[in-house]
Amino acid sequence: MTTTEAKAGPRERLLEAAALLTYREGISVGIQALCQEAGVSKRSMYQLFDSKDELLAASLEQGAPAYTVWLLPTADDDRSPRERILHVFGRLESQSATPGYHGCQYLAVQIELKDPTHPASRVARGVKDGLARFFRAEAERGGASDPDLLSRQLMLIFDGASARAGIGVDDLTGLVSPTVGSLLDSAGVH
């Protein structure tokens, strides 16, 4: 255990374990494995969280701000809307090339759960909706002929590329950004 882990309380260790294990193994990871990874008893887990579902949702919610900051350009970034959109796909390309990449964790949760009312699905949907809003705003700023349609198309590319790279059937390097560039050209985004 590192010094940071030794100082973290049981709640933080459970949140971290949930983030790590559910990304690596999926949401079906057992409570025993989560508690063991966190070094916390099941009793302690249930004192901190009403259920595994609540733990998963809290873990996703805790990680969402850092994910968003990492993925999206800052509000004061003065690049063009086109460059700001391409920035997101450049991030996706670079992340997909890292060892242990399993796709977008927020998409994976929604697919695995198949229940839009599940607390973790609601958190994941919120993150994905935020990305769609970003694409829509940039498309509108960039002069897209149909910003709503373009946002949906960009989400389709983002999620599809993430999923294909996550299951190891596609290398996104040199594939996603040119594809998005062509789409932006056809939509008239500058």
* Nearest C-alpha neighbor of 167 from the set 50, 27, 48, 26: 26
pTM over 0.75: yes
Running along the chain, 190 residues long, what does each successive block of 10 average in pLDDT? Answer: 63 97 95 97 96 97 97 96 98 95 96 96 98 98 98 98 96 95 96
Q: Which residues of 147-172 are buried (b: 16+ CB within 10 A; e: fewer)?
A: beebbebbbebbbebbbbbbeeeeeb
Q: What is the pLDDT of residue 6?
A: 54
Q: How far apart are CA 77 and CA 120, in angstroms?
A: 31
Q: What residues have CB less than 8 Å from 140, skipping those under 6 apart?
A: 147
Q: What is the pLDDT of residue 4?
A: 44
Q: What is the pLDDT of residue 1?
A: 46
Give me the domains of the chain, ranges plus CATH numbers.
1-49 (1.10.10), 54-187 (1.10.357.10)
Q: Which amino acid is at 110?
A: Q
Q: How far apart are CA 78 and CA 81, in angstroms?
A: 9
